[in-house]
């Protein structure tokens, strides 16, 4: 386990009251007014001193906007521009989500953040035999270009920052559909702004089995997007390295930093192996981080991550452009710190988490809705989450100055501490052969399982107090009843019917021909991807592919031009990804229920 | 213990499986992305006392119902409402197929009474619906495992 946990267990043994006796929170407990904190470690288990002095946080400290950017990537932070306020949304068919996006825009969100349902996330079409129950349930359903057009119908996509939450190797197909949709509308694709999550290596840690994102394919499609947007859509963030989903598995703050940075390094190395110069793509790298419940530790975590990324880019990868050194991150408040017991308490938790995010200088923020431990948010709870951000922005004054906690003895000391602990985890990953290797070997999974089990045991024993869960609980019948939002009942059958119509009306010959071209490029890409994968495990040096003459500066293994062509000819998500999977030696259908109809 | 459907959020089910093991139960965690058929076939093969399902998919009612029906069809339990609404159990009052291999536990001679437990993330207003769909008890996220163990014991003691 990480050093921080060793430290935590040592600290616990040093003269702390025994944890075997559960704490007493009964109203009649004696000496309640004398109560003092039982747990004096941070959420991650770092022991905290009674008071911090100047000696705990020795200078020098740089100004905001200067290397290594501990205090922020801009000199004036939010005085220059507020964080983007956008709520993750997605439910039912694309038309249902289109209405939801418009609702959130009317309520004042300043960007769009769409999440897709499980079939779409995993690259399966709505008519796949294994998915009828899941269509539009955890996000919205997109199988074809028509769905993407419906999703953004009446929403101008120019001068808007759009975030597409799709992680697996489905990401390049969804991005292709988005670009084709904009192109058909007459938009200049090269000027579009936005983000695609595109972190397929982490896909297996947010609930999906490895079969949906085999490592070789995952790395390849991730780098395809980096290469493509760097050359063709320069305002786009090609990747949103997801520390958030890692954290949701139960790991601690230093591990969140280390796993996210190590993961980012795998993509950086993949992009370098594609022949891209570091300063061409690093300035558009972005991260998606958690804001958990320990306010100061979370601020320190994000400050430490910013400093570590800057040093990594400059010192290890030799980036010369200051833009390459800047750690840009969005924050998603930690859903795993919310509970269904006494759900209104979550409103308070979310506000503290969002405060941590903005004190730490997040570029973009999603606040969870208080009812998320039950179901997808309702319109009202979505609105309240957005209002939480608006109170922060307009009433609290948190945006008035850069890095308001900079110089705090405690926060500076904790930032140093988080950096030290995260570095130790990074070294562990390096010693084991790097991120791709520790994913493959299952080491990451074991770290997560240990962490979540340890956390639950600490809740069970009362070592951690969770209000409403193991303290101050109330009978379920007295609790707030939450109905939760459900996808409109007809949306599932509608999606299947509309997809059948789409397939009937399209030109089958063109679909087949375009998928044939995609398969051909994918076969070439496969050979390259195998070499890159081995190289990242330290076994060989990759050969940089040649540059294709047809597309400015793109290499001949990039799948996106052919994907764009295929989806514009009418190919579906499942078909485009299936053909690529087959060329990569995987099954056309990850669930092996469908045969490759184009073989 | 298993996850059915396409949802793969498995932090909860893994933790609960481990803590049930530590509490002395023999636990088989089948994994995720399973069909109801696979889960029930495994339950028959392992002659389990109880099946545990975990959801964060929004499809908890549909899949609970599918698993419960299959358990009835495979003779693991009777097609009667859960104990909360009908205290008298064990009567041969149904027309479903005969028990397979007669290996199930509990139930005393006739159809075995394999229990069905459901946990995860769902609206608390759905808890009665999940019970109606066939669950013997339901544990929303945040329920302490010590509490889960206590309630599983008391349900199993009733059979």
**Chain B residues touching A248 at Cβ < 8 A:** 11
Coil/strand/helix, residue A480: coil
How many angstroms separate the CA of residue A261 from the nearest CA in chain B?
Answer: 23
Per the CB < 8 A criterion, the answer to whether A538 and A433 are in contact is yes
Mean predicted confidence (pLDDT) in B92-98 = 43
Mean predicted confidence (pLDDT) in B83-106 = 43
Nearest to B8 among A208, A373, A466 (CB): A208
**B121 touching chain A per CB within 8 A:** yes
Cα–Cα dist A6/B8, whole Å: 30
- Output DSSP code: residue A314: I
The number of distinct structural domains making up chain B is: 1
pLDDT top residue among B87 and A395: A395
How many angstroms separate the CA of residue A594 from the nearest CA in chain B?
Answer: 16
pLDDT of residue A548: 66
From start to end of A311-399, where are the E strands?
Answer: 329-333, 364-366
Per the CB < 8 A criterion, the answer to whether B27 and A151 are in contact is no
**Chain B residues touching A452 at Cβ < 8 A:** 11, 14-15
Characterize B33-47 residue by residue with b for buried, 16 or more Cβ atoms within 10 angstroms of its Cβ, and e for exposed. bbbbeebbeebbeee
Nearest to B6 among A130, A375, A453 (CB): A130
Residue by residue, DSSP assigns chain B as -EEESS----HHHHHHHHHHHHTT------EEEE-HHHHHHHHHHHT-SEEEEEE-SS-HHHHHHHHHHHHHHTTSS-SS--TTT----------PPPPSTT---SSTTSS---EEEEEES--GGGHHHHHHTT-SEEEETT--HHHHHHHHHHHHHT-
**B146 touching chain A per CB within 8 A:** yes
pLDDT of residue A127: 97
pLDDT of residue A511: 98
Q: Which domain does B35 fall in, by range?
A: 2-157
> In this model, does residue B137 exceed pLDDT 60?
yes
Mean pLDDT by 10 residues, chain A (599 residues): 46 44 75 86 97 92 95 97 93 95 93 94 95 91 98 93 92 98 96 94 84 91 97 95 96 98 95 93 96 98 98 96 97 97 97 98 96 92 96 98 97 98 97 93 96 97 95 94 85 95 97 98 94 78 68 88 98 98 96 94
Cβ A248–B8 below 8 Å, yes or no? no
pLDDT of residue A547: 72
Work out how many CB contacts closer than 8 A connect A with B.
103
Confidence of residue B103 (pLDDT cuts 50, 70, 90): very low
Nearest to A484 among B56, B123, B146 (CB): B123
**B98 touching chain A per CB within 8 A:** no
Mutate to test the interface with A, among B22, B54, B55, B123 (most CBs of A within 10 A): B123
**Chain B residues touching A250 at Cβ < 8 A:** 11
- Give backbone dihedrals phi and psi of A288, rounded to 5 degrees, phi first: -125, 105
Mutate to test the interface with A, among B66, B124, B149 (most CBs of A within 10 A): B124
Residue written as tokens 């909860």?
Answer: B12
- Output DSSP code: residue A471: B
What residue in B sits closest to A120 (Cα-Cα)? B6
**Chain A residues touching B145 at Cβ < 8 A:** 456, 460
**Chain A residues touching B124 at Cβ < 8 A:** 340, 374, 476, 479, 481-482
Least confident of A178-182, B86-90, B108-112, B118-122: B86-90
pLDDT of residue A48: 98
Characterize A12-34 residue by residue with b for buried, 16 or more Cβ atoms within 10 angstroms of its Cβ, and e for exposed. beeeeeebeeebeeeeeeeeeee
Cβ A375–B121 below 8 Å, yes or no? yes
How many angstroms separate the CA of residue B68 from the nearest CA in chain A?
Answer: 17
Cβ A482–B15 below 8 Å, yes or no? no
**Chain A residues touching B146 at Cβ < 8 A:** 460
Cβ A460–B32 below 8 Å, yes or no? no
pLDDT of residue B97: 43
**Chain B residues touching A118 at Cβ < 8 A:** 6-7, 57
What residue in B sits closest to A131 (Cα-Cα)? B6
**Chain A residues touching B32 at Cβ < 8 A:** 207, 209
Cβ B144–A470 below 8 Å, yes or no? yes
pLDDT of residue B57: 82
Q: Which helix (H) or strand (E) holds A285?
A: strand A285-291
Query: For chain A, what are the domain ranges?
Result: 158-398+406-461, 509-583
**B144 touching chain A per CB within 8 A:** yes
Cα–Cα dist B137/A107, whole Å: 40
Characterize A311-347 residue by residue with b for buried, 16 or more Cβ atoms within 10 angstroms of its Cβ, and e for exposed. ebbbeebebeebebbbbbbbbbbbbbbbbbbbbebbb
pLDDT of residue A28: 76
Query: Top-level CATH class of A158-398+406-461?
Result: alpha beta
How many angstroms separate the CA of residue A340 from the nearest CA in chain B?
Answer: 7
CATH code for the domain of B69: 3.40.50.280
**A397 prior amide bond cis, ω within 30:** no
């Amino acid at each position: 386990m990480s050093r921080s946990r060793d430290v935590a267990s040592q600290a616990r043994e040093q003269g702390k009251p025994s944890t075997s006796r559960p704490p007493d929170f009964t109203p009649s407990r004696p000496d309640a007014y004398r109560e003092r904190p039982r747990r004096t470690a941070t959420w991650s288990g770092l022991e905290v001193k009674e008071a911090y002095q100047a000696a705990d946080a020795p200078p020098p400290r740089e100004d905001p906007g200067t290397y290594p950017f501990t205090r922020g990537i801009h000199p004036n932070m939010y005085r220059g521009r507020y964080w983007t306020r956008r709520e993750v949304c997605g439910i039912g068919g694309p038309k249902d989500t289109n209405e939801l996006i418009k609702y959130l825009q009317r309520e004042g969100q300043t960007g769009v953040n769409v999440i897709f349902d499980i079939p779409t996330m995993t690259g399966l079409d709505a008519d796949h035999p294994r998915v009828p129950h899941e269509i539009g349930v955890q996000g919205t359903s997109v199988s074809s270009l028509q769905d993407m057009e419906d999703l953004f119908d009446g929403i101008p996509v120019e001068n808007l920052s759009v975030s597409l939450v799709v992680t697996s190797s489905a990401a390049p197909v969804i991005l292709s559909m988005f670009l084709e949709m904009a192109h058909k509308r007459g938009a200049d694709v090269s000027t579009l702004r936005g983000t695609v999550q595109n972190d397929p290596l982490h896909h297996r840690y947010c609930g999906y089995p490895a079969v949906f994102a085999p490592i070789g394919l995952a790395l390849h499609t991730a780098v395809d997007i980096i290469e493509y947007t760097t050359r063709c859509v320069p305002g786009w963030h090609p990747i949103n390295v997801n520390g958030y989903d890692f954290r949701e598995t139960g790991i601690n703050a230093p591990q969140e930093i280390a796993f996210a940075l190590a993961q980012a390094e795998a993509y950086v190395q993949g992009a370098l192996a594609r022949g891209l110069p570091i300063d061409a793509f690093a300035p558009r790298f972005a991260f998606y981080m958690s804001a958990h419940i320990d306010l100061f530790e979370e601020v320190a975590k994000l400050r430490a991550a910013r400093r570590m990324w800057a040093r990594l880019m400059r010192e290890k990868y030799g980036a010369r452009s200051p833009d390459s050194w800047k750690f840009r991150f969005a924050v998603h408040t930690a859903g795993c710190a919310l509970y269904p017991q006494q759900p209104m308490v979550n409103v308070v938790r979310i506000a503290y988490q969002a405060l941590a995010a903005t004190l730490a200088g997040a570029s973009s923020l999603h606040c969870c809705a208080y009812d998320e431990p039950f179901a997808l948010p309702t319109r009202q709870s979505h609105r309240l989450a957005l209002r939480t951000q608006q109170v922060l922005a307009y009433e609290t004054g948190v945006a008035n100055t850069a890095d308001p906690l900079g110089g705090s003895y405690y926060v500076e000391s904790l930032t140093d501490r988080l950096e030290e602990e995260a570095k130790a985890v990074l070294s562990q990953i390096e010693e084991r052969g790097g991120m791709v290797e520790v994913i493959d070997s299952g080491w990451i999974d074991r770290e997560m399982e240990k962490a979540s089990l340890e956390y639950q045991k600490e809740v069970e024993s009362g070592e951690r107090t969770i209000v409403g869960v193991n303290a101050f609980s109330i009978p379920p019948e007295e609790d707030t009843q939450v109905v939760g939002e459900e996808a409109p009942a007809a949306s599932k059958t509608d999606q299947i019917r509309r997809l059948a119509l789409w397939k009937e009306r399209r030109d089958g010959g063109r679909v087949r021909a375009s998928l044939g071209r995609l398969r051909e490029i994918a076969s070439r890409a496969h050979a390259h991807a195998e070499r890159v994968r081995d190289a990242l495990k330290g076994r060989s040096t990759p050969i940089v592919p040649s540059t294709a003459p047809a597309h400015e500066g793109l290499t001949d293994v990039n799948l996106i031009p052919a994907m764009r062509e295929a989806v514009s000819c009418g190919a579906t998500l499942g078909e485009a990804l299936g053909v690529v999977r087959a060329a990569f030696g995987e099954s056309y259908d990850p669930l092996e229920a469908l045969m490759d109809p184009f073989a | 213990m298993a996850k059915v459907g396409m949802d793969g959020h498995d932090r909860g089910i893994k933790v609960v499986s481990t803590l049930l093991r530590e509490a002395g139960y023999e636990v088989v965690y089948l994994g995720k992305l399973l069909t109801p058929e696979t889960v029930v076939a495994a339950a028959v093969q392992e002659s389990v006392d109880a099946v545990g399902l975990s959801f964060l998919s929004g499809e908890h009612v549909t899949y609970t119902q599918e698993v419960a029906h299959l358990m009835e069809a495979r003779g693991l339990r009777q097609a009667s409402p859960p104990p909360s609404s009908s205290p008298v159990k064990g009567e041969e009052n149904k027309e479903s197929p005969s028990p397979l291999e007669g290996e199930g536990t509990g139930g005393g001679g006739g159809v075995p009474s394999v229990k069905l437990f459901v946990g995860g993330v769902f609206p608390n207003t759905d808890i009665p619906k999940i019970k109606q769909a066939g669950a013997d008890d339901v544990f929303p996220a945040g329920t302490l495992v010590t509490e889960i163990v206590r309630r599983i014991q008391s349900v199993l003691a009733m059979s």
